Amino acid sequence: MKKYPRIQFQKRLDQLRNDVEEMGQTSLDSYKNAIDAFKNYDSELVNKVIRNHQKLQEMNYNLEQEAMSIIASEQPVAKDLRFIETSIKVASHLKRMGGLASNIADVAEHIKDEEIPEKPMNDITHMSDIVDGMVSKSLSAFLNEDMNLVRELKRDDDKVDDLFDQALNDISNSMFQEKEAISYMISLLFVARFLERIADRAENIGDRTIYMITCEKPGVADKLNQLINDEEKK
């Protein structure tokens, strides 16, 4: 049976969306495994994170190739084109999240035999919980075109920034109190930094989602409430 061009085009867009969703789930799994390995070291979890990082790189490459093929053959315009562009950007952020998760897993292996002081551990645990939610929210915001989730992402990112400052202070204090622990305390600083960067990536996915929906350029935090109100009136 002959397929109409528009139906074929829509199927390719649907598959692109599914590919982004699969990448998002893989990236989220990597993040969760990396955090679990950091809290309670498990070499198998570390290996899973490394394998997923490699998988995400391949998935990202394939998605980019398919997206460019769609643009070349279908010549999409307006929102369809913005969806394809945003899919490429979102996939890139998800790939980088997987890379940062791999970095956390590397640190977990490096400090697996160390006793981490309570305050820095609590700071990082709190950060990791918020970032976990941000990764999920960013993917849902994109897949469901949910601008309210984007607003939540921006609030969450502010919380992560505050916790990073607190972690920096607590880790620095622990270094002064336990000078022999300076080496692995620096590793803790890296984990806090990796978490902050993952949060930034999640917020960036939110910004790209706003662009996809409204055609407003990323970074419109001051206009977000008005954009949401405008969309709700449509």
Give per-residue pLDDT as tens, 115-157: 888 898 999 999 999 999 999 999 999 999 999 999 999 999 9
Q: Angle 142-67-212 (CA atoms, 0-180°, nearest 5)?
A: 30
Q: What is the pTM of this model?
A: 0.90
What's the pLDDT at 71? 95
- Which tens digit of pLDDT belongs to each residue from 48-96? 999 999 999 999 999 999 999 999 998 998 999 999 999 999 999 999 9
Token digits of residue 191: 């984990």
Place of tokens 């709700």: 232
CB atoms within 10 A of CB 206: 28
Give Cβ neighbours of residue 218 (< 8 Å, ≥ 6 apart): 204, 207, 208, 210, 211
What is the residue-wise DSSP string for 53-70?
A: HHHHHHHHHHHHHHHHHH
What's the pLDDT at 154? 93
Between 147-177 and 224-233, two packed helices, what is the crossing angle to 10 degrees? 150
Q: How far is CA 202 from CA 71, 93, 174, in A?
A: 26, 8, 30
What's the pLDDT at 129? 97
What percent of the chain is modeled with pLDDT above 90? 76
Closest CA to 50 of 28, 36, 25, 33: 33
The whole-angstrom separation of Cα 224 and Cα 92 is 23
Q: Which domains does the chain have, with CATH numbers?
A: 4-232 (1.20.58.220)
CB atoms within 10 A of CB 20: 24
Span 212-228, average pLDDT: 66
The whole-angstrom separation of Cα 70 and Cα 138 is 24
